[in-house]
Structure 1
């Protein structure tokens, strides 16, 4: 989280569902660490596969109302990219 703040990001968007892997932190832990560094944290989980229309709408709304730059992530980046693409097309 410190490296993300050092790189200048102001918001992180967690697209990885809690409990997807035993070794990942849950969103509450991520949000707490982000807040300590002055970052905004948003949780829009996407299960493997296609992101939902509701998740795309949530992302589009979040992007219009949050400090930039924004870092969105999942396990590999694929879901975050697909969600972003879907949000921008809607």
Structure 2
């Protein structure tokens, strides 16, 4: 697994497998967020299989599928709620990029834009394409 820390309480990763979930729980993660739509994975990693693996490992589980190019206010709000207050959290998708986008957008009114972009870049994700959306959300409360 390639875990990348975005904050002390949130890491993102590329696709994980059901057998990885127990290791994540053993490492201290309490919440698993799946941002990968079922249409992108086989039945061995769909959201139901991952939910069962999280339950067996004693983790909270949230299925918040993020289809490329389909960012909604609800998705941002749901990601923010799922990642708040239950540290530490691991979120995954195909590469970790979509999870990072959701984190960034959920932080838009809480942190300076430059800090958000630098954090993402430091984790290996270029969020320059969502910079205008970050700026537009900066003055809103989600």
Please tell me the TM-score bracket, short chain as reference.
0.7 to 0.9
**2:42 alignment counterpart:** 22
Stretches of structure 1 that go unaligned for 5 or more consecutive residues are none
Q: Alpha carbon RMSD of aligned pairs, Å?
A: 1.6
TM-score by length of 2: 0.57
Post-superposition shift, 1:62?
Answer: 1.9
Larger CA Rg, structure 1 vs 2: 2
Superposition pairs of residues 59-78 of structure 1, within 5 angstroms: 59-65=79-85, 67-78=86-97
> Contact conserved, 2:64 with 2:78, CA < 8 A, in 1?
yes
Q: More helix per residue: 1 or 2?
A: 2
Unaligned runs of 5+ in 2: 1-20, 109-141
Aligned residue-pair number: 89
- Structure scoring higher RCO (CA < 8 A, sep ≥ 6) equals 1
1:41 is aligned to 2:49: no
In structure 2, how many angstroms separate the alpha carbons of the residues matched to 1:36 and 1:76? 25
TM-score by length of structure 1 reads 0.87
Distance 1:21 1:32 in 2: 16
How has the CA–CA distance of structure 1 residues 33 and 22 changed in structure 2, closer, same or farther, with 3 Å as cutoff?
A: closer
Q: SS of 2:33's equivalent?
A: strand
> Is the contact made by 1:12 and 1:39 (CA closer than 8 Å) also made in structure 2?
yes
Displacement, 1:51?
A: 2.5
Aligned match for 1:58, one of 72, 78, 97: 78
